[in-house]
Amino acid sequence: MRPTRVFVGLGSNLGNRRATVLAAWRELQELFFGAPELSPIYESEPQYDREQPRFLNAVAAGRTRLGPFELLDELLAIERRLGRQRDQERPKGPRSIDLDLLLYRDWLVCHPRLVLPHPGITERLFVLQPLIDLDPELTDPQCGRVYARYLSETGEKGIYPING
């Protein structure tokens, strides 16, 4: 398989959030050709379960030869190595690390294990902004619309760039 461009969302709201996000990014380097790009890191309010700490979020972009399900399995393995225990968490609750496969080239996938593009990209400013930071011309493979055009429609506020 030839290298495919992918985008992965990174988020953390437990422990040393910045160190965990950067550790996940370093592990992603093993899955990609060359160093993946990393967007600026943003702090955001929790979206669903408000009774938890703020998140740090970023998006990584790179090229991989792994298929989408292989890549998903590797992302879950990275989460486990960085201390995430999905079976012991409440849904949408606090987590040490969350890695989401957002886009895999322009593929559309609807499978019980994986939906691409990742649902909610266009409604979550904490995903949309770092994605656009990496590629302002990136288009939604479902409709061909440039993702940047969704910014004014999110209705979400409360993300803040983290310096350094």
CA distances from 8 to 47, 72, 90, 153, 155 (A): 19, 10, 22, 22, 23
Residue spans of alpha helices (H) in the chain: 17-28, 68-81, 125-134
Specify the residue for token string 């849904």.
Answer: 91
41 Cβ contact list (under 8 Å, min separation 6): 18, 21, 56, 57, 58, 130, 161, 162
Give residue 145's identity as a one-letter amino acid code: R
CA gap 117, 78 in Å, rounded = 21
Closest CA to 136 of 124, 148, 128, 127: 148
67 Cβ contact list (under 8 Å, min separation 6): 1
Q: Which residues are catalytic?
A: 84, 95, 98, 100
